Copies of this chain bind each other. A is one copy, B any other.
Amino acid sequence: MATFVLQALGCDVSAINTVNFSNHTAYKQFKGRRTPAEEIQEIYNGLKEADLNHFDVMLSGYAASKHAVETIGGIGRDQRLKSSTRPGSFFWILDPVMGDQGRLYVSEDIVPAYRTLIRDADLILPNSFEASQLAEIEVTDMASLVAAITKIHKQYQVPHIIVTSLNLSPRTGRRFSNADKIAVVGSSCCSDYSPRLFSVTVPSLPIFFSGTGDMFASLMLVRLREAVTSINADMLTKKSWQSPDDVPATSLPLAKATEKVLASMQTILEKTVAARDADLADETSTNGESEEDARRMHLRRTRASEVRVVECVQDLQHPDMQQPGVSKAEMVQIDA
């Protein structure tokens, strides 16, 4: 997903695959293997030795083990070091893939490994469960979310954070009363590491999609760089592309990029829902189905829900900024 999205938006990509599976895991069955940490390191060494390690941006996602997380951390730090005399010339977007909905799907020792790692990242993209894990603050409402983001900014000096897939209303601070919306909350910190918080809400869709995290991260990479450049190209030479302290939250490049990313995604996911419904139109009710029938049905539904990203490449490239339901970035007010 991420490689195609980046290439479709004009980026030259050196992909190091951290898994090599026949299909994504939402099918509940797959073959193939996780790339051993040694092999991730070896491929990076190969790039270095062939003088092919000149990256503007690094995007890191799922890693299967503590050792793999540490290896990716070492690669990020190596790139950071290489660019240390040229602030902004290397930017690292880190998606700390650990779990969701209160449940880890990686081994527990990965959590402290990520806590160490995010210090070196420029932008992290946790969901609310992952933000809880990183900050060691349980996120249950907007106040605890803000506390978690504030702690991540201050303690780990992460300049940019976006918390994805929230079922919290940025207005009331509590769960959405009906589950028809989801929100993201982002922040680029000021020079004193205090947060500058904004939110964007989108209509919630009634099915589970696989790959939306990778889609969000890769679109964000392109749109953030673009927003920074269009606001002030000089910012690309600032450490972590940080905005001056007087820029309000809703005018941050991160906020502008988020609006654009979610406009693309909402269009593509709505088209995916329509295509899925067409694929499944002949589905019959299956009361008393056997275990094998249930497995087949699950495979079929999962296949029908595959995000139509290749078909919708135009929507990646040219987001409809009037996409109904996708809010403009709003300032998050914290009533402590």
**Which residues on A are within 8 Å of B, measured CB to CB?**
4, 7-8, 10-13, 17, 20-23, 27, 29-33, 35, 39, 42-47, 49-52, 296, 299-300, 303, 310-311, 313
Contacts and interface: CB of A to CB of B under 8 A. Distances in A.
A64 B27 CA distance: 30
Given A32-B42, A39-B33, A47 B22 contact: yes
Contacts of A296: 51
B50 A27 contact: yes
Contact of A49 (B29, B33, B50, B313): B29
Given A31-B45, A43-B31, A43-B32, A23 B10 contact: no
A314 B252 CA distance: 32
Contacts of A23: 46-47, 50, 52
A46 B31 contact: yes
B310 A51 contact: no
A300 B51 CA distance: 8
Q: Is the interface of A mostly helix, strand, loop or mixed?
A: mixed
Nearest to A13: B310
Contacts of A303: 50-52
Contacts of A11: 310
A31 B22 contact: no
Contacts of A50: 22-23, 27, 29-30, 299, 303
Given A7-B310, A12-B310, A22 B44 contact: yes
Contacts of A300: 51
A56 to B, nearest CB: 14
Nearest to A48: B22
Contacts of A8: 7-8, 313
Given A49-B29, A49-B31, A50-B27, A311 B10 contact: yes
Contacts of A29: 46, 49-50
Contacts of A47: 22-23, 31
8 contacts: A10-B310, A17-B17, A22-B44, A22-B52, A30-B46, A31-B47, A32-B39, A32-B46
Nearest to A41: B31
A323 B30 CA distance: 46
A84 B277 CA distance: 29
A263 B42 CA distance: 38
Nearest to A11: B310
Most buried by B among A11, A23, A31, A299: A31
Contacts of A44: 22
Contacts of A49: 29, 31
Contacts of A20: 17, 20, 35, 39, 43
Most buried by B among A30, A32, A35, A50: A50
A27 B29 CA distance: 38
A207 to B, nearest CB: 18
A43 B35 CA distance: 14
Given A12-B311, A20-B20, 20 more contacts: A10-B310, A10-B313, A11-B310, A20-B39, A22-B43, A22-B44, A22-B50, A22-B52, A23-B46, A23-B47, A23-B50, A27-B52, A29-B49, A30-B50, A31-B47, A31-B49, A32-B43, A50-B299, A51-B299, A52-B303
